[in-house]
Amino acid sequence: MGRPDWEAEYVDFFVARAPALRRTAYAMCGDWQVAEDLVQTTFVRLYVHWSRVRRETADAYARRILTNLFLSGRRARGREFPTDLLPERAAPSAVADIAGGRVDVAAALAGLPARQRAVVALRYVDDLPVSQVAELLGLAEGTVKSHCARAAEALRTALATPQTMKPTVRGGPR
């Protein structure tokens, strides 16, 4: 049996997009190993449907699969409780991570509900516009904006670094 002639195109897409999807997944789940599992499952499902996925929409399609996998996994596992240190594959830069505040970010993200984390990952890591995040998650744009605001506040509090995460002040005395 021959291989489908679109496999090369699929592999090109995998090579081009898997790393970015893994970063998005990591921002959602906070664990590189789980992020890789999510990406692998995403690409397996994408393979099954690749012959009818257009290249122009493949990115959106993959993101939708990934997000649904993340959210359905959360539902299956039930309520998660945030911890100070997330389980994560040991990396050479672990010490630098702690010093640089990555652990604080991880804890702040872990404290957010799963859907809010998905919003944060899509909006700020993937740089998607609010409208696209809303469409992808089936939420109102206002809900996406309020999720973003709450997440920014949580990050700001967790990092407690007013210099870098100072809230934007509007108006005030002149």
Partner 1 sequence: MTDDRQVRDVLADYVSAEPPMTIAPETVLRAGRHARNRRQLVSVAAGAFGVCAALTAGYALGGNSSTPAVPQPAAGSPPATAHTTAVPSYPGPVPALIEARVRAGLPGGPSLVRKQIYPSDWNRKTPLPVSQTANATDWHAQFAIPARPGNQLWAGVFITPPGSNPSEQDLRRQCAGASTDGVPSCSYDVRPDGSLLLTQITRISNTWTRTVLHFRADDRVVNIREKAKAGTYQDALRAWRYPPSVLAQVATDGQLVIPQPVVQPPLPDSGR
- Residue 138: both structure tokens together: 């089936």
| Residue of 86, 115, 125, 150 that binds partner 1 (CB under 8 A) | 125
Q: What is the amino acid identity at position 55?
A: R
Residue (68 or 146) nearer to partner 1, CB: 68
Report how far residue 59's alpha carbon sits from residue 66's, in angstroms, rounded to the nearest whole number: 11
Q: Nearest-5° angle of CA 133, CA 146, CA 69?
A: 40
Cα(66)–Cα(38) distance, integer angstroms: 6
- Site map for partner 1, 24-43, x if CB under 8 A? --xx----x---x--xx--x
Nearer Cβ to partner 1 (83/131): 131
Going by C-alpha positions, the residue among 22, 21, 38, 27 that lies closest to residue 102 is 27
Residue 160 within binding range of partner 1, rule CB under 8 A: no
Select 77 or 168, whichever has its Cβ closest to partner 1: 168
- Quote the least distance from Cβ 109 to partner 1, whole Å: 8
- Residue from the set 162, 167, 171, 173 that interacts with partner 1 by CB under 8 A: 167
- What is the number of other CB atoms lying within 10 angstroms of the CB of residue 106? 22
| Interface of this chain with partner 1, residues 60 to 79, rule: CB under 8 A | 60-61, 64-65, 67-68
Among 75, 127, 162, 174, binds partner 1 (CB under 8 A): 127
Nearer to partner 1, 19 or 87 (CB): 19
Measured distance CA(91)–CA(146) in Å, rounded: 34
State the Cα–Cα distance between residues 30 and 74, nearest whole angstrom: 13
**Site size for partner 1, by CB under 8 A?**
77
Task: Find the shortest distance in angstroms from Cβ 173 to partner 1.
Answer: 20
Neighbours of 170 (CB within 10 A): 5
Query: Does position 86 bind partner 1 by CB under 8 A?
Result: no
Residue 22 interacting with partner 1 (CB under 8 A): yes
